[in-house]
Structure 1
Amino acid sequence: MAFKFNEVLGCVFMVFGWGVMSMIPFFDSMVLVDYSIWLSSNLSVNLTVLLDQVSGLFMAAIFLISGSVLIYCSWYMGDEVYFSRFIYLVVFFVLSMMSLIMIPNLISLLLGWDGLGITSFLLVVYYQNNKSLGAGMVTVLTNRVGDAILLCVIGVFCSEGGWMLFQFFPSVGYFWTPFLLVMAAITKSAQVPYSAWLPAAMAAPTPVSALVHSSTLVTAGVYLLIRSYPMLCESDFSLGVLKCLSLFTLVMAGSVALVEVDLKKIVALSTLSQLSMMLFAVSICLPKVAFFHLITHAMFKSLLFLSAGVVIHSGLKWQDIRLLGKNWARLPVSMSCVTVASLSLCGMPFLSGFYSKDLIIEMSLQGGDSLMIYFMLIVGTLFTSWYSIRLGFNLFLSVNKSVSPVIYESESSSVKFAYGSLLLSSVVMGFLLVGLFSDLDLTAMVGSVEKFIVMSLVVVALSIVEVSAKWNGEGNFFSGGYGYLASMWHFKPLLVQFSPMLGLKLAGVVTVSMEKGWLEKVGPQGVYKAVQVLGVTNQKSQSYHFLKTVLGFLFGLFLFIFLVIYL
């Protein structure tokens, strides 16, 4: 049996990822490699590469996920016309991500930052239809806002004399630089008010969603804040803004996922809520814990996307969870992976998500924040368990209401192989990383009451799902607020429709008043009417009054000569 190029490349990526991860314990110190590209008397251009535990572990996670995605693509996208183009885009995306991870110089980092945006746009518009184009434009324009803010930060760094993130401490005159970094990060991580682009980007193929929009691209903003944390922690205002925006996004994404029926958008909204958990951990001065959750989330969320893609692909591309059911009988391996990934997302004990997510909640309880902060955190976590159990009920136990025939086929061996490393990571990665990082050996000094509250969230969510299912049958539950939640608290029309609508109305005013108004009067239409009047006058004078005109002209000439001679 001949292996495809993408399968071989995926195996190489997976082996390299596990190899890098096995060497993480030996990265005891930071290694900074500075290579001079150009050196003269007044100019030096250097390429700096940073190697430490953070960059090595993130790089290993990306290679593991991208290797699994490349192997998975053999089954999911093997019949695509532009399959080779897709593989090249994925490889270019991995290279851009490597540039972002390993280069601490902000100018060189911008190459990877922009490379991620360009590759994301090309992957979102892969299917070449109007829906994909609209989603791609929303994605790229929103990310360009963050690019512009990052250019402003580079200008500030230039005036300070350096571009190294972990060595930069701005002077008093640039106290707003951390705030700019926060604004640049939340555009890439899709926080409020830039949340609309992440669900829209689900128009991309499912392997793209598993690699780009769940585990790597959207975490670039979190990684930027983790790298620049020495500067960020100096600004209490920036940390406060980040805390408020992350909690607001956590509650908003969870509530919207409760009423969403598109399978891929539900998983995207769960990604949005977990990004909020990471940023909240950064805002309470726990950057290592945020990075811990970043790695564990990348593993189980990519597994959840891949298994959801199998459900969609096997059901003739249906994505409505109300039409998908009884998958446990025909897709046992994928449903097992959905179960493990969903329970890890809920924070089920002894899975990867529990070690990082529970740690964030428990450490936040020691911060001494207001009751509203903790209320929003607990409610957002409760929503996570709620929509995860709702998704599982629909995929496992609901009746398949699809009117089209469902394809009953055995799961491909390449799909099962792609599941392997991600499934193992979703189970044991949290336990391994707790022992790997000495900084993560944190003892949460919280009481038994708080631990009981955290552990009982899944049980409470299960009971709420049962009650809401009964209310849904009677048509009384969420009847009034469904449209509000489905529109992402009106952020989707506000950002995706309101801003273009203002531009279109302004363009309409300019068109009516200028292009179809006075510019036409002065320009083509005015000249046309003037020539038309002159032509009609000339025609009448030549056809009807020609003799009178000649006689009048001669009489006038005679009168003029007489006046000149005798006066």
Structure 2
Amino acid sequence: MKLFFYMSMMFSLMLFLFVMVLFFNKDMIMVEWEIFNFYSLDFGFIILLDWVSLLFMSYVLFISGWVMLYSSNYMEMDKFKDRFYILLILFVISMLLLVISPNLISLLLGWDGLGLISYCLVAYYQNFSSYNSSMVTFLSNRIGDSFLLVSIFFMMNYGGWNFIFYEYLEFNFIMLMLIILASMTKSAQIPFSLWLPMAMAAPTPVSSLVHSSTLVTAGVYLLIRFYDFFIIYVNQFMLLMLLFMLTMLLSSVSALMEIDLKKIIALSTLSQLSLMMMMLLMGFKELAFFHLLIHAIFKSLLFLCSGVIIHDYKYYQDIRMMGSYSKMMPMISCYLNISGLSLCGMPFLSSYFTKDYVMELLLSENNINMMMMMLYYICIGLTMLYYFRLIYYLNFSWFNLSSLYYFIDNKWLMMNSMKLLMIFSLIFGSIMSWLFLDNMKIIMMDNYLSAMIYLMMLFILIKFLEKYFYMVELSMSEVKMFLLNMWYLKMFFVNNIIMMFSVNMNYFMEKGWGELLGSQGIYLMYKNMSMIYQIYQFNNIKYYLIMFIMMFYLIIYLYLYSLKSV
């Protein structure tokens, strides 16, 4: 694993230097391998190396290297850790294949690879919860795969699948809608939001990689690649803008009600993904891409911190059982606070340079109505709320596990793998805005408008400091069930869709024709053949005598028939 870490760090640095050259020279490199040509349809493999793909690859390799180093300490006592490392490396390779592919068919290879390997990783612990979560994850991603396959058939009308060559061509609206729906399934937007928190059944290093730079970001990256095509129809996608805003609200409210540490961080990922999709529909392609990169840094750090916390609390993930963590592990608590404040968009941390700018752009745009504006403000406020709730339970509440308990601070490799990510969570937003966002618009606003969001954060902080704020129980049971079940998405998908698949497959495959054509049919065939063979073995004298008599009568018959013919 150290070899993979050193190689990924070396390639990440080389790719970042190469990005500088391509970006400032406004250049790109394309490598094409034509496999065959069939009736003017080109079947080939293309590698696109521009500054967007190389920068994203650099990030993926950088984060995956640190996650792999972290995993060597996190999974050292696991019996199947070699299989885990192989699956993690294949997962990274699938993402890199998706990033460099400007061809829909080769892109589908990386897209399907992400879905299949994520199924194996979510089901890694092989218990009932991980099996159900992996099935929901796999089936939800297969819906997006089917949308992408249909868009491939639509694209046959254009003579090939290399969409990078069709810069000034207006694509079919239905095909673009299918691509957006495929991106929504991968990025877990409503109504496909359920699989994202359920995928937390995977090991924590997998969650860190999935929610920062690989699986969930694939949908946003695909929309960035197709940005020039669907921006023409942006006025017809305003319903999707409302869906993205509702997904932000859903994830924020669900995180406020959640008690599982990893699911709270996963729901914050869902909120940030909705923000990126909303940026794209508003026309801010570069801003969405940089928020994607900055989010990858602090979200991977958040998950790595949560893995250390879960180890320290003997694999408990219920935040009500935790407490007094800042006194026991001050460095991990410091890392968690820095990444969490960056998530909230605290001034001059990494995420501030994109989230605050989006807020200013929303206030200056004329085509955004008041409802969208208020929803955005509410979602930002709820982000602060559930983060401070998490910090309250971790650091300021009473320790609710056994009184005979001690923390073992022997995770030096896990600690070292988080130091550079913590530094980048502090300074990387300013570095990226200085290097790449040189054409940002300067927006002059009134003082009360620019201070409104911080006044809302201050109000939420005051509410947080109230004595019984986190002890309030919802009196209406239906409202509580509605909020805890992600607006009944969980009940709808698990109780209807997944149960429908499992019951029908059980009926047809295990108790119907699938059983007879499959294992049971083969078993019955071998059983009948062995019984016939056994009868012959047990009655061999009798059957040999019968066969001798039959052969004797046959010889006599043939002899008489030959005499008759003569």
TM-score, normalised to structure 1's length? 0.84
The answer on 1:95 being equivalent to 2:101 is no
- In structure 1, C-alpha distance between the alignment counterparts of 2:53 and 2:80, rounded to whole Å: 33
Per the TM alignment, residue 502 of structure 1 is displaced from its structure 2 partner at its CA by 4.8
Aligned twin of 2:290: 292
Letter in structure 1 aligned against 2:43: V
Letter in structure 2 aligned against 1:103: S
1:470-499 deviation line (CA, Å, top 9, x unaligned): 155464577663221110011111122222
Q: In 2, are the aligned partners of 1:36 and 1:44 still within 8 Å (CA)?
A: no
Distance 1:260 1:173, change over 3 A: closer
Distance 1:64 1:173, change over 3 A: closer
Per the TM alignment, residue 438 of structure 1 is displaced from its structure 2 partner at its CA by 3.8
* Number of aligned positions between the proteins: 507
Aligned twin of 1:461: 460
Per the TM alignment, residue 176 of structure 1 is displaced from its structure 2 partner at its CA by 2.0
Q: In 2, are the aligned partners of 1:232 and 1:238 still within 8 Å (CA)?
A: no
Q: In 2, are the aligned partners of 1:239 and 1:284 still within 8 Å (CA)?
A: no
| Match among 118, 123, 126 for residue 124 of structure 2 | 126
| Match among 4, 14, 21 for residue 26 of structure 1 | 21
Q: In 1, are the aligned partners of 2:43 and 2:160 still within 8 Å (CA)?
A: no
Secondary structure of 2:243's counterpart equals helix
Letter in structure 2 aligned against 1:400: F
Superposed, 1:163-312 pairs within 5 Å as: 163-168=161-166, 174-312=172-310
Instruction: Say what the alpha-carbon RMSD is for the aligned residues.
Output: 2.4
Superposed, 1:343-492 pairs within 5 Å as: 343-368=341-366, 369-403=368-402, 405-438=404-437, 441-467=440-466, 470-473=468-471, 475=473, 481-492=479-490
Q: In 2, are the aligned partners of 1:330 and 1:410 still within 8 Å (CA)?
A: no
Superposed, 1:15-54 pairs within 5 Å as: 15-28=10-23, 29-39=26-36, 44-54=42-52
Per the TM alignment, residue 353 of structure 1 is displaced from its structure 2 partner at its CA by 0.9
Per the TM alignment, residue 25 of structure 1 is displaced from its structure 2 partner at its CA by 2.1
Deviates more, 1:251-260 or 1:416-425: 416-425
- In structure 2, C-alpha distance between the alignment counterparts of 1:382 and 1:90, rounded to whole Å: 35
Q: In 1, are the aligned partners of 2:212 and 2:297 still within 8 Å (CA)?
A: no
Superposed, 1:157-168 pairs within 5 Å as: 157-168=155-166
Structure of larger gyration radius? 1
The answer on 1:341 being equivalent to 2:339 is yes
TM-score, normalised to structure 2's length? 0.85
Aligned twin of 2:320: 322
- In structure 2, C-alpha distance between the alignment counterparts of 1:463 and 1:62, rounded to whole Å: 38
- In structure 1, C-alpha distance between the alignment counterparts of 2:300 and 2:204, rounded to whole Å: 10
Q: In 1, are the aligned partners of 2:234 and 2:281 still within 8 Å (CA)?
A: no
Distance 1:474 1:17, change over 3 A: closer
Distance 1:352 1:420, change over 3 A: same
Letter in structure 1 aligned against 2:13: W
The answer on 1:10 being equivalent to 2:8 is no
Secondary structure of 1:36's counterpart equals strand
| Percentage of identical aligned residues | 36
- In structure 2, C-alpha distance between the alignment counterparts of 1:299 and 1:272, rounded to whole Å: 15
Distance 1:136 1:439, change over 3 A: farther
- In structure 2, C-alpha distance between the alignment counterparts of 1:41 and 1:276, rounded to whole Å: 40
- In structure 2, C-alpha distance between the alignment counterparts of 1:263 and 1:413, rounded to whole Å: 22
- In structure 1, C-alpha distance between the alignment counterparts of 2:132 and 2:415, rounded to whole Å: 34
Q: In 1, are the aligned partners of 2:92 and 2:214 still within 8 Å (CA)?
A: no
Secondary structure of 1:481's counterpart equals helix
Letter in structure 1 aligned against 2:138: V
1:261-314 deviation line (CA, Å, top 9, x unaligned): 000000000000000110010110111111111000000000000001100011
Letter in structure 2 aligned against 1:57: L
- In structure 1, C-alpha distance between the alignment counterparts of 2:419 and 2:318, rounded to whole Å: 27
- In structure 2, C-alpha distance between the alignment counterparts of 1:477 and 1:332, rounded to whole Å: 37
Secondary structure of 2:178's counterpart equals helix
Letter in structure 2 aligned against 1:378: Y
- In structure 1, C-alpha distance between the alignment counterparts of 2:374 and 2:193, rounded to whole Å: 22
Question: Unaligned regions of 5+ residues in structure 1, if any?
Answer: 1-5, 516-567
Aligned twin of 2:543: none
- In structure 1, C-alpha distance between the alignment counterparts of 2:210 and 2:309, rounded to whole Å: 20
1:486-525 deviation line (CA, Å, top 9, x unaligned): 10011111122222345578789999xx99xxxxxxxxxx
- In structure 2, C-alpha distance between the alignment counterparts of 1:158 and 1:169, rounded to whole Å: 16
- In structure 2, C-alpha distance between the alignment counterparts of 1:40 and 1:338, rounded to whole Å: 54
Letter in structure 2 aligned against 1:498: N
Per the TM alignment, residue 373 of structure 1 is displaced from its structure 2 partner at its CA by 0.6
Aligned twin of 1:546: none
Question: Unaligned regions of 5+ residues in structure 2, if any?
Answer: 514-566
Secondary structure of 2:126's counterpart equals coil
Deviates more, 1:297-306 or 1:414-423: 414-423
Secondary structure of 2:33's counterpart equals strand
Aligned twin of 2:56: 58
Per the TM alignment, residue 74 of structure 1 is displaced from its structure 2 partner at its CA by 1.8
Letter in structure 2 aligned against 1:32: I
Per the TM alignment, residue 129 of structure 1 is displaced from its structure 2 partner at its CA by 1.2
Per the TM alignment, residue 214 of structure 1 is displaced from its structure 2 partner at its CA by 3.5
- In structure 2, C-alpha distance between the alignment counterparts of 1:230 and 1:108, rounded to whole Å: 20
| Match among 64, 67, 83 for residue 65 of structure 2 | 67
Secondary structure of 1:80's counterpart equals coil
Per the TM alignment, residue 239 of structure 1 is displaced from its structure 2 partner at its CA by 3.0
Distance 1:392 1:136, change over 3 A: same
Secondary structure of 1:50's counterpart equals strand
- In structure 1, C-alpha distance between the alignment counterparts of 2:472 and 2:153, rounded to whole Å: 59
